[in-house]
Chain A
């Protein structure tokens, strides 16, 4: 920490500032990042952030991996909503390779992405509750996060870092259990969310702690590169799903909740409303997927044998499938050289992928535009002059996920 002699305001009781080290391992920091705070009594005078404790060099690793092997890396960005990262990666690959996915695949992807968004927002909101002392909400909604994880497990085999889907679609069709669990979720979750809302939204203590703290104006938020619920809480209705619809989002009817002052309470409410909107989208997508009958209901990937691994039973019996499998795994398929930038609405905002391909099987350069990393810079401005406890709540309401910050 650099030695700075901070001039305390007139009338301060303290003679010098206290330096407090919040993190990197601390019950209130959700993930590994450090904040060195200079406090005047209990008010924060300056905050210096240190990130990079979980930097895993994804961008360097991605330069040596074929496109389909980068999906597990993208899982570990925002690990609370890893299906969204996976789908975002598949979408940028499909943009590069000019693959068009069938509607059913798009709708299946929408179901998964919105479930992931619900899971991410649920974690964030319940953790804001935990940081203000209300632990019950967090544990109560955990049951429904478990149900979402069970749905992921049916589809791809893993619960948290899902590595879900392939370039062109999914690796297998959704089976009957997925639809059963989805129906159970759609039936039971609204009641749970309503109870969770009742716990915190009009709770006197929670409101006193969160209203008016950690605010940011829309102009500053835009200048700081905010996107996602944090920007929407400040009043700007920018949502990548509506601005540049991907994966057939234009077929769905949903609203974008927008806040006013950008303080902690607004962020909590925006995420809450977004969970309701996501639930609406999942219901609509579920009905749309059910409308495909017969042979259409068996479609779960685009017809791109050059990029989509064939079924293993075909690989052992049919010649073409064997050849395609060999070519894809060894990297003999044609990847056009070019540069493409594509983004999706992640749990925290615009998750962008800048992919430069030189024609080889691994990207020449892959850069992840990580929303958490970009908006965490604003933390010192947002907490200037606030109390330490408000700073803790601001940090948790920003939904900082260390995996996405450091990549």
Chain B
């Protein structure tokens, strides 16, 4: 019976202590591993005849500026369409060397999703065929979704903060 407990058991059998952080927020199994293992874990989840997580629903990143050496998290949402189970897999990387192996060989949909993640967070996907900015202008030299980047242009002098209730 494919359920969260079984998936956790198979993952811990295969990867022993390298997969950690098992949790089930709102019913979805969520776990993490070291970033060097991301392709191995994704391939295992794809190939295994019981698990069959062959649909990449979403690939995105989150910035946690206060977790030292684990600031950027790449989050994969995988979906087993046959048994209708979803899981969430995260890899953390530090912000000084944000290199993560690309998943494009396994999932073609990861191509643009990784470009968007690179555009917003600056994560370098090693092995990506075309890693350049996708939604922002090519000349941009900062990564806008990182928390230190302000929402608004700080150099504007025409908007009076007092009137805008900030």
Contacts and interface: CB of A to CB of B under 8 A. Distances in A.
Contacts of A343: 57
Nearest to A337: B25
Contact of A339 (B25, B84, B136, B137): B25
Interface of B: 25-26, 28, 30, 54-58, 60, 62-63, 75, 77, 81, 84, 86, 88, 107-109, 111-113, 116, 120, 133-137, 144-145, 151
A172 interface: no
B109 A224 contact: yes
Contact of A60 (B77, B88, B109, B145): B145
Interface string A232-257: 00001010000110000000000000
A37 B89 CA distance: 37
Contacts of B145: 59-60
A223 B56 CA distance: 8
Interface centre among B75, B135, B145 (most CB of A within 10 A): B135
A356 B57 CA distance: 17
A356 B64 CA distance: 12
A103 interface: no
A136 to B, nearest CB: 36
Interface of A: 51-52, 55, 57, 59-61, 63-64, 95-96, 220, 222-225, 236, 238, 243-244, 338-341, 343, 350, 352, 354, 356, 364-365, 367, 369, 373-378, 406
Nearest to A369: B58
A225 B109 contact: yes
A354 B60 contact: yes
Given A243-B84, A340-B26, A365-B62, A224 B108 contact: yes
Contacts of B81: 222, 236, 238, 243
Contacts of A95: 26
A57 B144 contact: yes
Contact of B120 (A59, A350, A374): A59
A63 B109 contact: no
Given A52-B135, A61-B151, A223-B109, A341 B58 contact: yes
B89 to A, nearest CB: 12
Nearest to B64: A364
Contacts of A243: 81, 84
B84 A374 contact: no
A378 B112 CA distance: 10
Contacts of A376: 112
Contacts of B144: 57, 60
Nearest to A375: B109
Contact of A374 (B63, B109, B134, B137): B109
A291 to B, nearest CB: 31
Given A339-B25, A354-B75, A354-B77, A223 B151 contact: no
